[in-house]
Structure 1
């Protein structure tokens, strides 16, 4: 079977080289995620603090510098106070 020059499909998790995590990062590093702030370091008063954000579909909360956050995400914040 000669598949040279053929388009194929595969899962990122099946990549042998380079590291699948690096491929996923390079492909999606500029994607925007929406999440709910669960906690803040230093109560969020300083620019150099971090937010603990819960993102649907990601098992663990992510930690993001507060000055890199934008929002609120309109579809997620309506009616949630």
Structure 2
């Protein structure tokens, strides 16, 4: 293999061996804002938090977020 030291390279996140890919994604994007459509709401009791279930384009699973952490806007 050629000496790659000091070379800039490109690679897929899915090809990362260490650290776990989700750690890299978190460090790069943890403050990014996602947007989606609320499809369900869990009403917490007096002591419990309420959560919203959000459908986000490009994400296959529904996302659950504490209701007090979302920002509403007109689409």
Q: What TM-score, normalized by structure 1, do the two folds share?
A: 0.81
Aligned pair 1:50/2:51, yes or no?
Answer: yes
Contact 1:47 1:66 in 2 (8 A): no
- Cα 1:47–1:70 shift into 2, 3 Å: farther
Q: Helix, strand or coil: the match of 2:43? A: helix
What is aligned with 1:3?
4
Contact 2:40 2:54 in 1 (8 A): yes
Aligned pair 1:25/2:30, yes or no?
Answer: no
Alpha-carbon RMSD: 1.8
Gaps of 5+ in 1: none
Structure 2 CA distance for aligned equivalents of residues 7 and 71 of structure 1: 40
Q: Which has the higher helix share?
A: 1
Structure 1 runs of 4+ aligned residues shifted over 2 Å read none
Structure 2 CA distance for aligned equivalents of residues 26 and 13 of structure 1: 15
How many residue pairs match? The answer is 72
Cα distance, 1:47 vs. partner? 8.0
What is aligned with 2:16?
15
